[in-house]
Amino acid sequence: MNAIAPARQTDIVRENGQRSVFCGLTGIVWLHRRIQDAFFLVVGSRTCAHLLQSAAGVMIFAEPRFATAIIEERDLAGRADPEDELDRVVERLLERRPDIRLLFLVGSCPSEVIKLDLSRASARLSRRFAPAVRVLDYSGSGIETTFTEGEDRCLEALVPTLPQDDAPALLVVGVLADVVEAQFRRLFEALGIERVRFLPASRAHEMPAIGAGTRILCAQPFLHNTVQALQRRGGVPVAAPFPLGAEGTTLWVAAAAAAFGIPPERVRAVCEAGEARARTALAAHRSALQGKTVFLFPDSQLELPLARFLQRELGMVAVEIGTPFLHRGALAAELALLPPGSSVVEGQHVDRQLDRCRAARPDITVCGLGLANPLEAEGLTTKWSIELLFSPIQGYEQAADLAALFTRPLDRRTRLAV
């Protein structure tokens, strides 16, 4: 098990300018899969509906647990009361879907433009349909946000509803695939941490408690507001790198163990088999990626832990590490693990970053969908950053799957070039 080294010199530059990102509505795609009796009702435009339909890949005859209440021209013109319209939509929805136990009203750019007060609507509807259905609200607007912030705002909305319990417990925060949650639960139980909870839970009535004895361990680096809300409820955050790759997973688990007074020897005994499997599985990918260059555009807020994994475990060289926001407290452990002299850019000026990317001609570029196709047309190999949220990538057993997300595009480019 490797200790976290003291922070080393990293060049951090702040840029502001034109951006190219998805909005927070995108998070509904993985949130609705996680909370199985929740429904996400976006109050927005047809553009919002098309975005969700495209991002989720839902076929026309499917019945997903999200939808869009379309704001029509008469709503914008003030010829109809949008609150009355919303009440009617919710009533029809709950009549049709009696399995819903948690309903999120999700704000969008259009609903914010017309100043529709979804917090008041959610409180009113929650009183009306209690106790069968709880109604909460959050903003998925793309105004000054990036797409992973949708998850942060959703979980932040859940925090005030969590029960109070001051007994010692570990709370893992962030959406994880069921298989990843099961793997982590087994690791923590093997360490002797008896009370392990996950936020969000898979069912509305199973949401975890929070209190003074709770230690908060983030599985994702973009949950700043959620962690602050949990701290106000008494929880104590645990500083750690994020569980990407063999090294990151071990350090993440070790940080949780230290918070509960579990000795390093016990951590090594529990983690060594999984870490060894992960490093063996990564060996073939390392041989393909060693020395390759990568340019990370600011998009998902996963860029720093991803750059650490690609460089330290796969031998890649990060030309530039862009991130939409840099919460230095949450990412201090990741910054300490980056190679000296790493170039980190916070914020986005897409034209300048495109110029630097074109000049560098990296072997692979991690970026959003809006940039990927143009860059591919210019001969650059790309990886969609949103795919990192749709795929199970955390933990030992998924380390090779994460690496494969980068070897496959390079392999495809090689095959097409023959």
For the stretch 248-258, pLDDT in tens is 999 999 999 99
**Residue 187: inside a domain, yes or no?**
yes
Q: Answer whether the bond into residue 221 is a cis peptide, omega within 30°.
A: no
Is pLDDT of 101 > 50? yes
Residue 279: per-residue pLDDT: 97
Q: State pTM to two decimals.
A: 0.92
Mean pLDDT of 274-303: 96
291 and 359 in one domain?
A: yes
Residue that finishes a domain, picked among 265, 296, 311: 265
386 and 293 in one domain?
A: yes
Tell whether residue 109 is among the known ligand binding residues.
Answer: yes
Mean pLDDT of 26-35: 91
Is pLDDT of 62 > 70? no
288 and 251 in one domain?
A: no
- Cα torsion 306, 152, 207, 137 to 10°: value is -160
**Residue 350: inside a domain, yes or no?**
yes
138 and 66 in one domain?
A: yes
Residue that finishes a domain, picked among 265, 291, 318: 265
Q: Provide the domain limits for residue 86.
A: 24-145
**Residue 272: inside a domain, yes or no?**
no
Per the listing, tokens 């990370």 go with 296
Provide the pLDDT confidence category of residue 234 given band limits of 50, 70 and 90.
very high
- Cα torsion 141, 142, 143, 149 to 10°: value is 80
**Residue 163: inside a domain, yes or no?**
no
Provide the pLDDT confidence category of residue 131 given band limits of 50, 70 and 90.
very high
pLDDT tens per residue, range 362-393:
999 999 888 999 999 999 999 999 889 889 99
35 and 131 in one domain?
A: yes
Is pLDDT of 60 > 70? no
* Nearest of 245, 217, 395, 384 to residue 307 by alpha carbon: 245
Report yes or no: 101 and 204 within 8 Å, Cβ to Cβ.
Answer: yes
**Residue 46: inside a domain, yes or no?**
yes
Residue 230: per-residue pLDDT: 98
Residue 109: per-residue pLDDT: 85
77 and 193 in one domain?
A: no
* Nearest of 342, 337, 343, 332 to residue 308 by alpha carbon: 337
**Residue 276: inside a domain, yes or no?**
no
Tell whether residue 367 is among the known ligand binding residues.
Answer: no
Give every CB contact of residue 359 below 8 A, 6+ residues apart in sequence: none
Mean of the per-residue pLDDT values for the chain? 90
Tell whether residue 357 is among the known ligand binding residues.
Answer: no
First to last CA, the chain: 42
Dist CA 87 CA 228 (whole Å):
32
287 and 261 in one domain?
A: no
CATH number of residue 340's parent domain: 3.40.50.1980
312 and 253 in one domain?
A: no
321 and 288 in one domain?
A: yes
173 and 105 in one domain?
A: no
**Residue 255: inside a domain, yes or no?**
yes
Residue 256: per-residue pLDDT: 98
pLDDT tens per residue, range 342-352:
999 999 889 99
Dist CA 155 CA 178 (whole Å):
17
303 and 248 in one domain?
A: no
244 and 203 in one domain?
A: yes
Count of domains observed in the chain: 3
